[in-house]
Amino acid sequence: MAKETAKTHKEWEKPLLELEDTIAKLREAARREADPVKQANYIEKAETYQEQCNRYVKLMYSNLGDWEKVLVARAEKRPYTLDYIQSIFNGFIELQGDRNGFNDNAIVGGPAEFNGRPVIVLGHQKGRNIQDRQMRNFGMAKPEGYRKAIRLFEMAERFRMPVISFVDTPAADPGVESESRGISEAIAAAMLKMFQLTVPTISVIIGEGGSGGAIGIAVSNRVLMLEHAVYSVIPPEGCAAILWRAPERAPEAAEALQITAKSALSFGIIDEIVSEPEGAAHRDPAGASDLIKEAVVRHLDELLLLSPAELHADRHAKFRKLGKFAETF
Amino acid sequence: MAKETAKTHKEWEKPLLELEDTIAKLREAARREADPVKQANYIEKAETYQEQCNRYVKLMYSNLGDWEKVLVARAEKRPYTLDYIQSIFNGFIELQGDRNGFNDNAIVGGPAEFNGRPVIVLGHQKGRNIQDRQMRNFGMAKPEGYRKAIRLFEMAERFRMPVISFVDTPAADPGVESESRGISEAIAAAMLKMFQLTVPTISVIIGEGGSGGAIGIAVSNRVLMLEHAVYSVIPPEGCAAILWRAPERAPEAAEALQITAKSALSFGIIDEIVSEPEGAAHRDPAGASDLIKEAVVRHLDELLLLSPAELHADRHAKFRKLGKFAETF
Amino acid sequence: MNPSSEVPGLVSLIALRSPASGPDGAFLQCQNCKKIIFSVEFEQNLRVCPHCQHHHRLTAQIRIDWTFDEGSFVEHDTGLSSVDPLGFPDYGKKLEQLNAKGENHDSVLSGTATIEGLKVSAAVCDFAFIGGSMGSVAGEKITRALERGIELKCPVIIFCASGGARMQEGLLSLMQMAKTTGAVEKCRANGIPYIAVFTDPTMAGVLASYASVADVIIAEPKALVGFAGLRVSKQAGVGKVPDDFQTAEFVLKHGMIDRIVSRKELRATLAGLVRTLGGHLLHAEAEA
Amino acid sequence: MNPSSEVPGLVSLIALRSPASGPDGAFLQCQNCKKIIFSVEFEQNLRVCPHCQHHHRLTAQIRIDWTFDEGSFVEHDTGLSSVDPLGFPDYGKKLEQLNAKGENHDSVLSGTATIEGLKVSAAVCDFAFIGGSMGSVAGEKITRALERGIELKCPVIIFCASGGARMQEGLLSLMQMAKTTGAVEKCRANGIPYIAVFTDPTMAGVLASYASVADVIIAEPKALVGFAGLRVSKQAGVGKVPDDFQTAEFVLKHGMIDRIVSRKELRATLAGLVRTLGGHLLHAEAEA
Ligand SMILES: [Zn+2]
Ligand SMILES: [Zn+2]
């Protein structure tokens, strides 16, 4: 099955895209057609195809395999952090810099209003076009990204603002520059800072939850995950390379690693799966935004009932209990 | 007077050094001389010169002019921070790095025992020989030096250790690299961190207290200053260059700026002048160490009677009141 | 080809730094691109050159007028004036001259105001007064402005414009770096947001103290921002000096400031920050 | 010219990573310089090559013997063992095999000990157990070791040696990064000093969590220290890879660790840190 071994979301969605293209052409033809009979014919055909298309979308997205989830989570058209900030928040003011000599564009953040309340919102940001993607380093943050996040966390603490983080990164940047400025320390220090906070914190895995790069800004009181997002300790390609010296066996590795929202929920690692609209977030960004907003509002309202000390203790307790092992006494 | 316009301490001390050289030669001649009469003659001469030399030392150092203080404070032979750490502290373990990608050798520090008590000690470090001087960047710290200091301050706070800092820098490093990594922020952040501390802090200006580079690690409950150290908002050369476009008029500028321990004390900027042995610290490093230790022990004992909150408030109050202005209502 | 040399009769070469902006209908010359600007347009454009977007320096008073709600600024600390504690060459004389000219607010104006209806404590440096240098009076006013934020439970906005410490007050001016930074620490401990705006120039002792430890730092485009004089930096540096060295753009790239904001968007940005970062203070006030 | 090829009969090419160091009188070959070492001398020299000073890897048990006061180490958390939560290919089998071999402490040994008479909580990674990888058991033991420091009011020493997270436990192993870092935060809040020693190798998920946020970080000479595999870093990097990339020397130069300490000075350095940074705990104890 070609579907099973597609390497990109675009490739995997190809039949659907072709069908949509045909529909668009039919509708265009109908629009230009003067003869009402021919026009009705075009429209009828378009509608038949549209029904078929809708059925396909439902079929394809209602039962995604693990590897397909990876493709969807990485989809070029999937809404990114700034899209959700735009649609869910008001008056966002981006703040920049690590105050140590560097600024990273793979993590963005700043104050904004959420549901009428000032919050700090931040997240990994991938790029849309080629230049943007390079400028954002494909959403792979360098140490200065995590240090910017730490600054924002400190600001949130100082001004009693809840923190909402969007997670969407293939991994932290693994280059020589990142190593030389301490990418490991930056990730660890960001996690440590998140543990220190006494304000409500909520993370939403919206696309790729890639390993240390993800957890670095995801140590929150509540961790939500979009239905088709993935969260993994290692990219499936890397896992396949290590296990079988065959990166092309990534789809198998994806299954072995259990990277879906459903398994993350079953292990108690996330608190809730946020449904996506039919055909996934990229086919209805506004719908996805509404669903995210509803879930975050609900969790935030719950957390706002807790005292600062309770919020701190709650977050510690949440992560303290994660892990599966046997113990004999 | 040649004395007045000397540009280095070596130049200024030249007559003394020549005399000492002569004495050394006479003593050596006496040691090698077989004829007891001639020998006695050599020894007698040496002793006469020695008395003369001692008189000179007393004379030269008992009434140093402002510019002479600058020369003495900058003297190549003057004990540096690591010399005092060696002589006054036990079991010093140097800790390094800013945990942000850089390490600076112009500021050194770490835990040690002082008078039987664990403390954090740190300070600017100049170099003795050419390579060492370059490695230490002539005691001019870069941002990473101040960020290392911040790490040490945080450690002191966490583990309830008093902080003792030695100040000895011409200035913070003003180069392109330092600007690009935020030397200004680093100095300001170090001062801010010192204000946050709730442990006793004592700074000792041992040589050059050069402007922002100095105050960055000198915001302490008690600020002591060696008798012949200097403390200034701008190097006299820089001041002369701005005022008169004549850096060579630095001696005049030194007087105008009032850079001596005596004036710092009169403005309430330092708490005590620590006397130096006759002929200044470099002629008796052990004696200088004893005098510093005695003063620091005394001030530390006083501070140890204060609670953490009192130490914090005391430091704020101390700096809050500095400044001279008129106010009408 | 300089238009001013072509039509000299039409051009009024008023120094753009002076508070007087010239009579209506007069022309001015941009300090950066040297092009001619109709002075009414220049004022309407907040003294930003319509040709090259150069942000010309503002006086403290104009800054206040264009930032805060109309008539909302109330000056405080007006009784403070500089003395000459060291008997420094020519300093006393200079202070007398400035006093005689009615320049009696020293290099900082401090007070309270509202911005989009939100209460703030504010301080504005005046570069025209001895290069905006920070002596005892400037340090005291900045410190009081920060403390006033704590007292009134409102955010603090400081517009920086300074060549650095005022060397004529010697070590006392160095101590203002510590004093003002201490006040910032008190703001932090009390949850008071503090926003700094770096205007041209923000240098040396001011940059290396209260300016750089603001919660949020905004700069005007092309503002000079640096620690050491360019000459000193060049002497010290082994490497090449970048073209944008010591500009707002340089420090933004190096993570030392949050944003560069054009003058016409500055007021709204400041109000947005005051509203969000200061939200907890309004909330606490409403509950009290 | 390799001496071992000259005198092959005399050379016992025992793998230096194995716990058995070979019979007395045997010869070994340095893994780094390939020179011949008399095995008794090798042991006396704490498995540091007398020719090139290469620090060969130690087992967790030998590390304990050579660091802490004789017989003072008491192992805790011995009942913990790994399960196969994902049914990951071959993982269950591998665990069974290791169990059968008596390798039942997983990749971390945790316990309490004294060093120069001073009480500490300790954990030591064992690279021999699935590359010292951190799964649920390792994460739990590190967490307990840190918590034990709080409970017993004593400093914590952790010897790191790990390739990273244990991917066979999927996301659960990623969560150990957060869990262990949370325990470090609790130590900080409680004034418990935590000292990490980076031994060869300290990588990836371990480096990017509890290892890097220690109060003091010491590394053994030449230890491999890095976030990503060298191949990945090289692919990602545009610039040149430095010769000392991902070594203890590299991270020291880049300010990420405090000191490189040779094995023979390690014990004294650790004791000195425990004595000074933990001084307030002894003081508090004496007062109680
Ligand atoms: Zn212009
Ligand atoms: Zn060797």
Residue C15 pLDDT: 39
**Average pLDDT for residues C162-175, to the nearest whole number?**
96
pLDDT of D103 reads 74
Q: Indicate contact of C with A: 3+ CB pairs under 8 A.
A: yes
Give the residues across from B326 on adjacent strands.
C81
Chain A residue with minimal CA distance to C212?
A99
* Nearest ligand to the C-alpha atom of residue C41: 1
Residue C117 in tokens: 């209806």
Of all helices (H) and strands (E), which one includes residue D113? Answer: strand D108-115
Site from D181, D190, D233 to mutate, A interface, most A CB atoms within 10 angstroms: D181
- Number of structural domains (chain A) is 2
In a shared domain, residues B57 and B205: no
Question: Does residue B85 belong to the interface with chain D, where contact is any CB pair within 8 Å?
Answer: no
A176 → closest Cβ in D175, D179, D239: D239
Protein residues near ligand 1, an ion, with CB under 5 A:
C 30, 32-33, 49, 51-52, 54
More confident residue, A29 or C159: C159
Joined tokens for residue A236: 């499936």
pLDDT at B3 over 80: no
A229 exposure class (CB count in 10 Å sphere: 0-12, 13-18, 19+)? buried
Kindly state the tokens that stand for D232: 């990945």
**CA–CA distance, C107 with C98 (Å, rounded to integer):** 11
- B309 within domain boundaries: yes
B265 shares a domain with B148? yes
Chain D meets chain C (3+ C-beta pairs below 8 A): no
Instruction: Give pLDDT, residue D100.
Output: 86
Let me know whether B297 and B168 are in one domain.
yes
Q: Which residues in chain C are closer than 8 Å to B263, comparing Cβ atoms?
A: 170-171
**Minimal-distance CA residue of chain A relative to B101:** A181
Same domain, A32 and A120: no
**B133 and B231 together in one domain:** yes
Which domain, by its residues, includes A290? 72-320
Q: Are residues B191 and B86 in the same domain?
A: yes
Distance D10 CA to ligand 2 centre (A): 17
pLDDT for res C239: 66
Look at residue D7 and tell me whether its pLDDT is greater than 50.
Answer: no
**pLDDT greater than 90 at residue D24:** no
Decide if B151 contacts B191 (C-beta within 8 A): no
Q: Taking CB atoms and an 8 Å limit, are B319 and C143 in contact across chains?
A: no
Q: Does B196 touch chain C (CB under 8 A)?
A: yes
- Cα separation, B179 vs C218, in Å, equals 18
- Test C273 with A111 for CB contact under 8 angstroms: yes
* Closest partner CB to C82 (pick from B320, B325, B328): B325
What does chain A come to in residues?
329
Asked if residues C172 and C135 have their Cβ atoms less than 8 Å apart, the reply is yes
Residue A328 included in any domain: no
Q: Which two tokens stand for residue B98?
A: 């800013």
Together in a domain, B125 and B211? yes
- Last-in-domain residue among A38, A62, A86: A62
Q: Which helix (H) or strand (E) covers residue B231, if one does? A: strand B230-232
- Residue C174 three-state SS: helix
pLDDT in tens, D111-160: 999 999 999 999 999 999 999 999 999 999 999 999 999 999 999 999 99
Distance CA A272, CA A295 (A): 8
Q: How far is D253 from chain B (nearest CA, A)?
A: 6
- Decide if pLDDT at A293 tops 50: yes
Structure tokens at A220: 């929150």
Interface residue of A100, A144, A193 to substitute, partner B, most B CBs within 10 Å: A100
Task: Give pLDDT, residue D27.
Answer: 83
Ligand nearest to C-alpha D49:
2
Alpha-carbon distance of C157 to C138, in angstroms, equals: 15
3-state secondary structure of C119: strand
- Chain B closest CA to D278's CA: distance in Å? 7
CA A18 – CA C205 distance, rounded (Å): 64
Maximum average pLDDT range among B14-18, B272-276, D58-62: B272-276
- 3 state SS for C36-95: EEEHHHHHHCCCECCCCCCECCCCHHHHHHHHCCCCCCEEECCCEEECCCCCCCCHHHHH
**pLDDT band (50, 70, 90) for residue D238:** low
Contacts of B215 (CB under 8 A, 6+ apart): B187, B191, C174, C175, C177, C178
Q: Is B8 on the interface with A (CB under 8 A)?
A: no
Phi, psi torsion values for A321, nearest 5 degrees: -90, 0
Predicted confidence at residue A288, as pLDDT, reads 97
The Å distance, Cα C65 to ligand 1 centre, comes to: 23
- CA proximity to D121, closest of D108, D133, D103, D132: D108
Do the Cβ atoms of C213 and B185 come within 8 Å?
yes
Domains, in order of start, for chain D: 1-56 (no CATH), 58-287 (3.90.226.10)
Nearest by CB to residue D258, choosing from B96, B117, B160, is B96
Residue A111 near residue A49 (C-beta atoms within 8 A): no
Per the omega criterion (within 30 degrees of 0), is the bond before C201 cis?
Answer: yes
pLDDT tens digits along C175-231: 999 999 999 999 999 999 999 999 999 999 999 999 999 999 999 999 999 998 777
Based on the domain organization, do B164 and B276 belong to the same domain? yes
Instruction: Please report the beta strands in A126-211, taking only residues with DSSP state E, as ranges in sequence order.
Output: 163-169, 201-210
pLDDT band at D22 (very low <50, low <70, confident <90, very high): very low
Q: How far is C104 from chain B (nearest CA, A)?
A: 12
- Using the beta-carbon criterion (under 8 Å), do B148 and D272 form an inter-chain contact? no
If you write DSSP's letter for every residue of B222-268 in order, what string do you get?
Answer: EEEEETT-EEESS-HHHHHHHHHS-GGGHHHHHHHHT-BHHHHHHTT
CB D280 within 8 A of CB D239: no
Query: How many Å apart are CA B305 and CA B179, to the nearest integer?
Result: 41
Q: In this structure, are B243 and B311 located in the same domain?
A: yes
Whether B329 is covered by a domain: the verdict is no
ipTM above 0.90, yes or no: yes
Percent of chain C with pLDDT over 70: 88
- Mean pLDDT for A185-209 is 98
B181 touches chain A (CB under 8 A): yes
Chain A residues in contact with C252 by the CB 8 A cut-off are 96-97, 103
A14 and A85 in a single domain? The answer is no
Over residues B85-113, the mean pLDDT reads 98
Residue A172, in any domain of the structure: yes
The gap between the terminal CA atoms of chain D, to the nearest Å, is 65
CB B153 within 8 A of CB B193: yes
Secondary structure (3-state) at A254: helix
Q: Which residue of C has its CA nearest to A91?
A: C272
Mean pLDDT for D12-17 is 39
> CB D259 to CB B93 under 8 A?
yes
Closest CA to A6 of A69, A82, A53: A69
pLDDT in the model for residue C5:
31
Cross-chain Cβ contact D172/A219 below 8 Å: no
Q: What is the mean pLDDT of residues D241-246?
A: 91
Distance CA B232, CA B55 (A): 30
Best of A134, A185, A197, A203 to disrupt the D interface (most D CBs within 10 Å) is A185
Is the pLDDT assigned to residue B145 strictly greater than 90? yes
pLDDT of residue D236: 62
Residues in chain C closer than 8 A to B174 (CB atoms) = 227-228, 232-233, 236
The 8-class DSSP code of residue D105 comes to S
CB of A147 within 8 Å of any CB in chain B?
yes
Contacts of B266 in chain C (CB under 8 A): none
Give the span between the Cα atoms of D274 and A194, in whole angstroms. Answer: 28
What's the Cα-to-Cα distance from B7 to each of B68, B229, C183, D175, rounded to whole Å? 9, 16, 40, 63
Q: Which residue has the higher pLDDT, C190 or B7?
A: C190
Chains A and B touch, using 3 or more CB pairs below 8 Å = yes
Determine if residue D67 is left, alpha or beta; phi over 0 gives left, psi from -120 to 50 gives alpha, anything else beta: alpha
C-alpha count within 13 angstroms, C-beta hemisphere, residue C157: 31
> For A236-245, B298-307, C76-85, which range has the lowest pLDDT when averaged over its residues?
A236-245
Q: Tell whether A36 is within 8 A of chain B (Cβ).
A: no
Q: What is the pLDDT of residue C288?
A: 67
Q: Are residues A210 and A280 in the same domain?
A: yes
Task: Assign D9 a pLDDT band (cuts: 50, 70, 90).
Answer: very low
Give CA separation, B10 vs B6, B15, C22, D215, in Å.
Answer: 9, 10, 59, 43
Residue C28 — pLDDT band, cuts 50, 70, 90?
Answer: confident
Rounded to the nearest angstrom, the minimum Cα separation between A263 and chain D is 9
Angle subtended at Cα B213 by Cα B211 and Cα B217, rounded to the nearest 5 degrees: 110
* pLDDT tens for each residue of B218-261: 999 999 999 999 999 999 999 999 889 988 899 999 999 999 99
Residue A265 makes CB contacts below 8 A (sequence gap 6+) with A225, A271, A272, A273
**B115: buried, middle or exposed (CB in 10 Å: 19+, 13-18, 0-12)?**
middle
- Alpha-helical segments (H) within D117-242: 136-152, 170-189, 204-207, 230-236
Q: Around Cβ C15, how many Cβ atoms within 10 Å?
A: 9
CA of D3 to the centre of ligand 2 (A): 12
- Cα separation, A195 vs A31, in Å, equals 59
Q: Is there a domain that residue A4 lies in?
A: no
Residues with Cβ within 8 Å of D149's Cβ and at least 6 positions away in sequence, in order, are D120, D121, D155, D156, D187, D192, D194
8 Å CB contact between D205 and D183: no
Residue C223 CA: distances (Å) to CA of C57, C162, C242: 9, 11, 15
Please give the Cα distance from A117 to C279 (Å, whole number): 8
**Left, alpha or beta for A103 (phi > 0: left; psi -120 to 50: alpha)?**
beta
Q: Do C273 and A118 count as a contact with CB atoms less than 8 A apart? A: no
Rounded (5°) CA angle D139-D145-D150: 130
Q: Is residue A3 part of a domain?
A: no
Q: What is the band of C4 on the pLDDT scale with cuts at 50, 70, 90? A: very low
Q: Are residues A283 and A205 in the same domain?
A: yes
Ligand nearest to the CA of C3: 1
Does residue A1 sit within a domain?
no
Report the pLDDT averaged over residues C62-89: 95
Within a domain: A137: yes
The rounded mean pLDDT for chain B is 94
DSSP at A103: -
Verify whether the Cβ–Cβ distance C255 to A144 is below 8 Å.
Answer: yes
Contact A182 B143 (CB under 8 A): no
**Do B192 and C188 count as a contact with CB atoms less than 8 A apart?**
yes
For the domain that residue B108 is a member of, what is the CATH number? Answer: 3.90.226.10
CB contact under 8 A, D259 and B99: no
Residue A165 DSSP one-character state: E
Given a contact cutoff of 8 angstroms between Cβ atoms, the answer to whether D156 and D176 are in contact is no
Which amino acid, one-letter code, is at B298? R
Q: Minimum-distance ligand to the CA of C47? A: 1
Please, what is the average pLDDT of chain C?
Answer: 88
Q: How far is C107 from chain A (nearest CA, A)?
A: 27
CB B319 within 8 A of CB B114: no
Chains that touch B (3 or more CB pairs under 8 A): A, C, D
CB spacing of C209 vs B191 below 8 angstroms: yes
d(CA C31, CA C33): 6
Contact A146, D201 (CB under 8 A): no
What is residue D233's predicted lDDT score, i.e. its pLDDT? 64
Question: Are D12 and D22 in contact, with CB atoms under 8 Å apart?
Answer: yes
Q: Tokens standing for A249?
A: 């066996």
Coil/strand/helix, residue A155: helix
* pTM for this prediction: 0.94
Output the pLDDT for position C234: 64
Q: What was the pLDDT predicted at D25?
A: 56
Question: Which of A42, A62, A82 is where one domain is finished?
Answer: A62
In Å, how far is A22's CA from the nearest CA of chain D? 40
What is the rounded end-to-end Cα distance, in angstroms, of chain B? 50
- Residue listed under structure tokens 């990418």: A183
Instruction: Please indicate whether, in this complex, the C-beta atoms of C179 and B325 are within 8 angstroms of each other.
Output: no
Helix C170-189 vs helix B308-320: angle between axes, to the nearest 10 degrees? 140
